[in-house]
Structure 1
Amino acid sequence: MNTALPLNERHCTHGAPALDDAAIAALLPQLPDWQADGKRLVREFLFRDYHETIEFVNALAFMVHREDHHPDLQVGYRRCTAAWTTHSAGHKLSENDFICAAKADALYAGRAGA
């Protein structure tokens, strides 16, 4: 794990291993709006309207394509729930999940009108 950079400045790595409970517990305080159950990292994002929701989803899609680490998304009128897990790590959490969650938080915080 590269801890020299903040999570949102790191990049996903191919074949990232599953994290143990201690590593998850160490990373989770950096993402206070997220919940982890050992297999998924989940957050609900709230928006003013559908257009703002879709704008965020599009920005998120662009970022995850660059990182090549895609979440499961549930999109509604004024909300989007993102859930990350690492399939190649046995559907458990890896550092990649935390990196993308931090990048999603940065997109959410930086959106117009935030």
Structure 2
Amino acid sequence: MSAALPLTARHCTPAAPALDDAAIAALLAQLPDWQVDAGRLLREFLFRDYHETIEFVNALAFMVHREDHHPDLQVGYRRCTASWTTHSAGNKLSENDFICAAKADALYAERAGA
């Protein structure tokens, strides 16, 4: 994978290594709606109703299944919070987390425009 490719064009890799603080900061700068909290990359997505929330969750589930990198999700009536770490990197952040976060943003933007 080339670092020149946008995050949404990259794919998760098995056994991705943990990132250092500088790499995390550089990748986080590309994802303005995300934050690192307690070592996890997280974002809350907001929706008009439960049906829209579940549509997003289903689309997200399909994407993360293809990437084989699954988030923790909290689902409510009009919101979904996704958070990632990488188990194989000792539950620290890896590039895989940022790839999936960028793809989740793209799914959200796609649905917001629908």
Q: Normalising TM by the smaller chain, what interval?
A: over 0.9
Name the Cα RMSD after superposition: 1.3
1:1-114 residue pairs with structure 2 within 5 A?
A: 2-37=2-37, 39-111=39-111, 113=113
What is the TM-score with the length of structure 2 in the denominator? 0.96
Identity %: 88
Q: Give the letter aligned to residue 51 of structure 2.
A: H
Paired with 1:20 and 1:100, the residues of 2 have a C-alpha distance of 18
Q: Give the letter aligned to residue 53 of structure 1.
A: T
What is the TM-score with the length of structure 1 in the denominator? 0.96
Cα 1:13–1:95 shift into 2, 3 Å: same
Contact 1:38 1:93 in 2 (8 A): no
Gaps of 5+ in 2: none
Paired with 1:33 and 1:25, the residues of 2 have a C-alpha distance of 13
Paired with 1:106 and 1:16, the residues of 2 have a C-alpha distance of 22
Q: Which ranges of 4 or more aligned residues in structure 1 deviate by more than 6 Å?
A: none
Contact 1:38 1:92 in 2 (8 A): no
Aligned to 1:110, the other structure's residue is in SS state helix
| 1:39 Cα offset (Å) | 2.0
| 1:38 Cα offset (Å) | 6.5
| 1:90 Cα offset (Å) | 0.3
Q: Give the letter aligned to residue 12 of structure 1.
A: C
Paired with 2:63 and 2:98, the residues of 1 have a C-alpha distance of 14
Cα 1:4–1:92 shift into 2, 3 Å: same
Deviations 1:18-60 (A, max 9, x none): 0000000111110000001372100000000000000000000
Paired with 1:16 and 1:48, the residues of 2 have a C-alpha distance of 36
